[in-house]
Structure 1
């Protein structure tokens, strides 16, 4: 860092003129780069960029155009370095969905005392909010104010205090940044959950943050006094009182990320493993993981990286190291939601392959010699455009067309399940994996443009990104439909078993 400042004479214009924009010359402030591995150079550049951010926040008395050149040069060099991603491996879809299942189960479990539910309610709110909104754990714990809800007619919003809002020195020169949004639209369901939590915890004293530390403390104390053996996992009376005394020295009106993290680990250990006796989770979700799920959700809605970064409160477009696309998690979570809704009696137009096959007549309504074999090589296409103008209803998957017929037998049912898994779902999942890889490459190479002091999307890059995300959305939709088709949640009213 010091070598860099000396070599560039504190980000001088003269250094840039002498090197004529050669990015590699930026690193002459260090030892010879040929003797240093890419990972070390990458970390050194990160240190310099962090210093630039710090100087900007306290007031950088240097021409912003000059700083932009330095910043872009450092980023360009960084992109050409071969380093391993620092993004940790996310929990498997199964582990993440299992956690989500128990979050929902716990708060709808009538056998659970309401005070215990209220104690763990910050976990529910964090999970619901951060799965759909790009928000940092600190922003939802220490930065989100108690009065964070906005109702405007039939629309609902959440006020967010972004941690990257800096107290800038007056008249300090600033570089160009992305716009920062501090009001985000939410669903009525999330609005009601937050409002309910506030109503349940208002009686425990004033809180500057949405999550009430005073309520957390009082609820723990109440439960321990109620049954110290049953709720021993919350601590003992002496420990709780000592803990609150320590927090009184700071400010108990503020919730912290440390408290939420401790609560999350407690939920895993004492609720999922202890109460529900489930030890199947191999990798636990941490507070930072949900940003990847939210990123995928926003991407599948058609938002560009710049738009997603703005929603996430970032001042710059993030690199692919910052976020991982998790389309497979999105698909699996939608399947779980679909299963839950079906079990609750919600009616869908989706028919399972079992319903489709066993609803077919035993005999085809037209001679098979007048039909053609369907692409699945199991059923037949009865479309006859010349004689009656019947058109194919689904060119991708024959079995989803009403003009498709097969003999309603158990053998055909088994063959169709195998066909859908091996010939439809498997190739589609491989295609999506390739598309996600291409998407990450596009994100990593994106360079927003400066328009009137604000960073905006590059039109050509936006077009390329949106074209690919449209393909991903279409393939994701098809994958969801195919997985739903294999589910046999509601048996058909009449299942005909044909004896051969």
Structure 2
């Protein structure tokens, strides 16, 4: 965990966000544990799974998440999946909050997660207008609230999350030193996630139920930290041969199949392989399937320099790693420039550029992880 010290936690006006490397480890735990939550002894953690699944994609405050209704997935005739999100906004010249509802297009993952939890509520014979009823919480914990409430409230959810850290993160997965994530942190993760995917600031504000995003430019410095942490963690998983399932459609909460078990080779019969720069290619159809550079080949290239060429080979990797880091930073700057643009005359053009640079960013992050993994191998 020493590497975490090199990734400073981003600072916000009122509080700090947790270390992004720790966030990625927590994400891996959630993605593994969600297949265990079907066991009755873990049912109590369904709200935690839903919180992570939904609010890392849709920017939501904790009270908005906990106010979700049971019937939040309306049936439509367009074949698309929509979710109804409760929002709050300040009344004009009044301290009171005005509640309204927002319809947002969502993925199958979110739909399935909610449906699974609704089924669990049915098995407990719990029928409520709320998706997170107080009755469900009381199946596992004492009520411990002064004012009556028919839904789980914020401090109860915090208690549930604390229990998850103790019982699951620490006792089951043996991660004892992670920065703890607060219920409100995921709203910021979702915004960073959307920035990295190439959403413009107006679209992000709209999906967050706001008219504007405060401190929008600050998110880009934090996006850079997140990208660094992501590359390092992906590098580790490559080396550990555990990168079969990583994130897709974003950086948190979902999965992406990028690599497979062939990602690292051990050379046994190198005379059977094609000699290439500082290593070998195992592809029988060489060079028909070659990518742009051997250093980013996942399936067929393994790095195996001779003793005489070792120092030169390491410099060869280092130079490409630096080049990829520069490309990552360049695309982050492009995304920042086009996302924050206030020009309404070339909206479609800027949208297409954002999409292009977001895809390139993710590609170069993957490529840098592949290259950096070869250093760790050595």
Contact 2:81 2:105 in 1 (8 A): yes
Distance 1:356 1:298 in 2: 41
Runs of at least 5 residues in structure 1 that lack an aligned partner in the other structure: 1-83, 170-179, 221-239, 365-373, 382-389, 448-456, 489-500
- Structure 1 residues 204-258: Cα deviation after superposition (integer angstroms, max 9, x where no partner): 53433211221111223xxxxxxxxxxxxxxxxxxx26x26x3xx422x222222
Post-superposition offset of 1:88: 4.3
Contact 1:198 1:210 in 2 (8 A): yes
1:458 aligned counterpart, secondary structure:
coil
Distance 2:69 2:308 in 1: 59
Aligned: 1:149 with 2:60: no
1:100 is aligned to 27
Distance 1:167 1:426 in 2: 51
Equivalent of 2:191, from 280, 285, 295?
Answer: 295
2:52 is aligned to 127
Distance 1:347 1:317 in 2: 32
1:341 is aligned to 244
Distance 1:316 1:190 in 2: 25
Contact 1:309 1:316 in 2 (8 A): yes
1:316 is aligned to 212
Contact 1:129 1:190 in 2 (8 A): yes
Distance 1:87 1:413 in 2: 53
1:216 is aligned to 137
Classify 1:378/1:306 alpha carbon distance in 2 versus 1 (closer, same or farther; 3 Å).
Answer: same
1:149 aligned counterpart, secondary structure:
coil
Post-superposition offset of 1:119: 0.9
Classify 1:408/1:278 alpha carbon distance in 2 versus 1 (closer, same or farther; 3 Å).
Answer: closer
- Structure 1 residues 453-480: Cα deviation after superposition (integer angstroms, max 9, x where no partner): xxxx623577567646633531331221
2:324 is aligned to 428
Equivalent of 2:180, from 280, 284, 306?
Answer: 284
1:264 is aligned to 161
Distance 1:474 1:313 in 2: 29
Aligned length: 335
TM-score, normalised by the number of residues in structure 2: 0.69
Distance 1:158 1:351 in 2: 39
Post-superposition offset of 1:276: 3.9
Classify 1:332/1:124 alpha carbon distance in 2 versus 1 (closer, same or farther; 3 Å).
Answer: farther
Task: Write the mapping of 1:59-458 to structure 2, written as runs, cut at 5 A.
Answer: 86=13, 88-109=15-36, 114-142=39-67, 144-152=68-76, 155-164=80-89, 182-202=102-122, 203-220=124-141, 240=142, 243=144, 246=146, 249-251=147-149, 253-281=150-178, 283-320=179-216, 323=219, 324-325=222-223, 326-328=226-228, 339-341=242-244, 352=263, 354=265, 361=272, 378=278, 394-395=291-292, 397-399=293-295, 418=314, 422-433=318-329, 435-436=331-332, 439-440=335-336, 446-447=341-342, 458=344
Aligned: 1:476 with 2:374: no
2:253 is aligned to none
CA RMSD across the alignment: 4.6
Distance 1:309 1:118 in 2: 34
Distance 1:331 1:86 in 2: 27
Distance 1:262 1:103 in 2: 17
Contact 2:60 2:187 in 1 (8 A): yes
Classify 1:332/1:130 alpha carbon distance in 2 versus 1 (closer, same or farther; 3 Å).
Answer: farther
2:138 aligned counterpart, secondary structure:
helix
Distance 2:266 2:175 in 1: 33
Distance 1:347 1:88 in 2: 35
Post-superposition offset of 1:196: 1.2
2:74 aligned counterpart, secondary structure:
strand
2:97 is aligned to none
1:62 is aligned to none
2:7 is aligned to none
Distance 2:135 2:309 in 1: 59
Post-superposition offset of 1:292: 3.4
TM-score, normalised by the number of residues in structure 1: 0.54
Post-superposition offset of 1:92: 2.4
Task: Write the mapping of 1:39-54 to structure 2, written as runs, cut at 5 A.
Answer: none
Contact 1:309 1:318 in 2 (8 A): no
Classify 1:127/1:412 alpha carbon distance in 2 versus 1 (closer, same or farther; 3 Å).
Answer: farther
Contact 2:56 2:186 in 1 (8 A): yes
